[in-house]
Chain A
Amino acid sequence: MKTIVFIKEVPETPDGVKISDSGQLAVDGDRAFLTDPIDPYSVETALKIREEKGGEVIVVSAGSTRAEKFLKEALAMGADEAVLLSGAEIEGGDPTATARALAAAVRKSGDFDLLVVGDRAADDNSAVVGPVLGQLLDIPVLTYVSEVREVDADTIRVVRTLEKGREVVESSLPAVVSVVKGIHEPRYPSLLGIRKASKREVPKWTAADLGEDPARLGAAGSPTRMRSLAPPPAPSGVEMIEGEVEEAAKTLVAKIIDRKVL
């Protein structure tokens, strides 16, 4: 079972990110980046499948060289290999252009059984990369997966957690699975894992290595573009109800009824 996991760096919010007056993102140095909080769940999903079925886990990220640290964290958790897709032609892509780079990396790495991504990235929240990957590679996509019930050589059965309930879905392999937080409790990188990982060189593949037209990658190849950013409106109308518990509860109930919340 060969599983490829995709991770990405995201700016840390809210401390690391500022929005300039002109509506652009200003990130406060390298330390303000971290691996997407969903990533450890994706990696853990792949590691659990490997523990049960054997095989290998490859972790891939597209973006700046900062992501090397996060790939090493995945290696320290137990992934077998890591690859960074990097270079000016790849960086700055929107989800579609990024998915093109990832799909090219998948093709370059040969046969595979399963691709795992987070359900959505913490920065743009787009939830697009997984589905576009499926389309580019012409394989099924299973989104919002909260449990992997069964995997064998040709099929996977998963539980999808949707707004209106849970759905058990079976699919042929290879497939793309996008996982939600809580699918597993991610393991912490052990010290021995870290020692091994920090000695590893993470291979870097450029657009040329991927054999992909640079015009379809990175900022240049992105069909969408962010025009401007604005912070969410500040919360307003917060009212602290003082007093004894019973009295405060009565006041709260009165306010809920008064404002027709229920």
Chain B
Amino acid sequence: MTLLRLIVREFVGLFVDDEKLALSILAVVGACWLLVHAIHGSAFSTGLLLVLGCVGVLIASVLQGARR
């Protein structure tokens, strides 16, 4: 049971290390999803939002990590 818990914890840890980074990525994807399904935005604007959002999240997370 402990081993199973360890494997599950390790698997979750693959994706979530810094909670803020993970939540920001999900927020970017969520915004893209809303753009497609609620506002019916173009595929180009969705792609642009996705790329710029991910780049922005990475830059903010690295600079914040450096300041900590």
Q: Do A and B come from one complex?
A: no
